[in-house]
Amino acid sequence: MKRWIWLLVLSLAIGAGLAWIARPLEIHFRWGDRGGQSATLSVNESTARAERTVEEEKGIAGAQALSQAFSAIAREVSPSVVTIYSERTVVNSRSTRGQNPFGGLLPDDFFGPFFQLPDRQPMRGMGSGVIVESDGKVLTNNHVVAGADRVKVTLADGRSFDAKVVGRDPKSDVAVVEIDARDLPAVKLGDSDALEIGEWVLAIGNPFELTQTVTAGIVSAKGRSSVGLADYEDFIQTDAAINPGNSGGALVNLAGQVVGINTAIATRSGGYQGVGFAIPINMAAKVMDSLIRTGKVTRGYIGVTLQQLDPDLADNYGLDHPQGALVNSVTKGSPAEDAGLESGDLILQLDGKPIRDREDLRLRIGEMQPGTSVELTVMRNDSRKTIRVKLGEMPSDEELASGGGGADESEAPSFENLGLSIARIDREARQRYQIDPDIEGLLVINVEPGTPAADAGLREGDILVDAGREPVTTVAQLKDQIKKTPPGKTVLLKVRREDANVFLALRVPKS
């Protein structure tokens, strides 16, 4: 028994000795006159830390290199990003002038001016832009300067200039303005087609009036369409923070090249939620060049209405997934009719390259010049055939609204005299302005300040339902009603605005 006890004690002693030998070696340092000034260094801990530093060194160096790249790009590109201020005069259609808030209990003029709002009020906006030419050309979004009476550009160095609008293209949401300045720092334009999903990008602009703001993110998607922001959409999607005021600013790659023009965000709160959209610079540059040369954009046109394919329709055409653009109808007298396209044709290829969907075909045709001859591969009656089409020129919105053939401007007053621009209500318009499917009429897309249309209280987004107590669904019908109205008199308009009907009196000018 004693032997077992001694063996147990001996084992415990040996275990304790081994534990003491294997303990971390600690070196104690003491300095100063006070005993509290000391430190302890564990040799084992120091070795582990050294090992972790070696393992993480490459990652830390990579992060530092990326941070330095961001800083270098911001220093290089930020001087080329400007702030754009716009101002326009709007008609206050909710003015209470002449109205008695007490419904006849007191004389109509009892309150005088106290219940009168100004007929016209200034509306100010702010956005961003990028200097694309050292002689003062600035690229931005159309919605930043649309309808502005005055545009001012402020440079990164604080200098401000009055600007003139060189040209606007609402269909792509691109605009060019110019200031009287020279030797400006112009950006370098990159190749947006070469962008890869997952690639780092920086967004530079002026959100919430916070000028020269830089945010970072990645390209989260390419080729976004059907967003409802413009007629021609091919957006770069990014999670770099974009907020109100960023519109028109630069989306920049790690080479310091502008690859996109920041345009909008997808949000339910009104602020950044991780999804922003930028116009690819390749698309914006084409529009910009045309605006600088001619002040407008000329696009190709074939003259068809297109329908998106769903899985059931794709299966009916013998496809395993939706692809291409389905011809819904062919406009009379259009290039499509001349070439022999028919309703029900499924357009699968353009010049040998596959068509992704309806928006893809519209965008690619629109980028071509009128007179260009293109080759369409279509599926018809379970067989493929090739049709060659010579593109025409995209008609104006008024011509499209009148049925595609245009109206004889000599037979009726020009809408320019009224300060009114209208368009037909298509699917994109219904989506953008949230128009109910059962509402028919003409969509007001622009009202010029100080014109009869503005005086009548018309607004962008209004829907003209009736004119002269007659329904209007085409430009020709509206012009007929205006033509019947003697100069200087008013034509009664029934307008659908938001969820209510409003009656307005549009005065036909004498000249």
Catalytic residues: 143, 173, 247
Q: What is the dihedral of CA 213, 219, 222, 226, to 10 degrees?
A: -50
Residue 376 Ramachandran class (φ > 0 left, ψ -120 to 50 alpha, else beta):
beta
> How far apart are the C-alpha atoms of 176 and 289, rounded to whole Å?
9
Q: Give the other-Cβ count within 10 Å of 168's Cβ.
A: 26
> What is the distance between the alpha carbons of residues 467 and 465, in angstroms, rounded to a whole number?
7
Triad 282, 236, 461: Cα angle to 5°: 95
Whole-angstrom distance, CA of residue 438 vs CA of residue 449: 31
Closest CA to 232 of 435, 444, 393, 428: 428
| Chain centre distance of CA 140 | 11
Main-chain dihedrals φ then ψ at residue 110, nearest 5 degrees: -60, -40
Q: Please say whether the beta carbons of 468 and 435 come within 8 A.
A: no
Q: Give me the amino acid identity at 72.
A: A
Pure H helices in 378-437? 397-401, 427-433
Residue 200's Cβ-count burial label (10 Å; 0-12, 13-18, 19+) is middle
The DSSP symbol for 25 reads: P
* Per-residue CA distances from 325 to 261, 343, 361, 419, 424 (Å): 28, 11, 7, 36, 21
Around Cβ 246, how many Cβ atoms within 10 Å?
Answer: 29
**The tokens of 479 are what?**
């012009």
